Chain A
Amino acid sequence: MDHPLSELLKSALGDAISQVTLFRDEVTLHTSRERILDVLTHLRDVQQFDMLTDETCVDYYPREPRFGILYQLYSIPRNLRVRVKVMLSEYDASLPSAVPVYRNANWLEREIYDLFGIHFEGHPDLRRILLPPDYPGHPLRKEVPIAVEENAFSFNRARIDAAKPYATE
Chain B
Amino acid sequence: MGLEQKLGDMGIVTTSLEKVVNWARSNAIWPMLFGLACCAIEMMSAQAPRYDLSRFGMELMRASPRQSDLMIVAGRVSRKMAPVLRNLYDQMPDPKWVIAMGDCASCGGVFNNYAIVQGVDEIVPVDVYVAGCPPRPETLIDGIMKLQEKIRREPLKKWQ
The interface of chain A, by Cβ under 8 A from chain B, is: 130-132, 135, 139, 144, 146-149, 152, 164-169
How far is it, in angstroms, between the C-alpha of A165 and the C-alpha of B118 when the chains are bound?
A: 10
Kindly report which residue of chain A lies nearest to residue B117, judged by CB atoms.
Answer: A148
Given contacts A130-B80, A132-B79, A132-B80, contact A149 B112 (CB under 8 A): yes
13 contacts between A and B (CB under 8 A): A132-B83, A139-B114, A147-B112, A148-B108, A148-B112, A148-B113, A152-B107, A152-B112, A164-B118, A165-B122, A166-B125, A167-B121, A168-B125
Q: Please report which residues of chain B, range 110-139, place their CB below 8 angstroms from some CB of chain A when the two chains form the complex.
A: 112-115, 118-119, 121-125
Given contacts A131-B114, A139-B115, A144-B114, 16 further A-B contacts (CB under 8 A): A130-B80, A131-B80, A132-B79, A135-B79, A148-B108, A148-B113, A148-B114, A148-B118, A152-B107, A165-B122, A166-B121, A166-B122, A167-B121, A167-B123, A168-B125, A169-B125
Which B residues form the contact surface with A (CB < 8 A)?
A: 79-80, 83, 86, 107-108, 112-115, 118-119, 121-125
Once the chains are docked, how many angstroms separate the CA of A155 from the CA of B148?
28
Q: Which residues of B contact A149 (CB under 8 A)?
A: 108, 112, 118
Nearest opposing residue in chain B for A163, CB measure: B118
B124, A167: Cβ atoms closer than 8 Å: yes
Bound-state Cα–Cα, A132 to B83, Å: 10
**Chain A contacts for B83, CB-based, 8 A:** 132
Partner of B113, one of A132, A147, A169: A147
Residues on B with C-beta less than 8 A from A168 are 125
Give Cα A168–Cα B121 distance, bound, in whole angstroms: 9
User: CB-CB < 8 A to B125: which residues of A?
Assistant: 166-169
Nearest neighbor of A169 in chain B, beta-carbon distance: B125
B-side contacts of A169, CB under 8 Å: 125
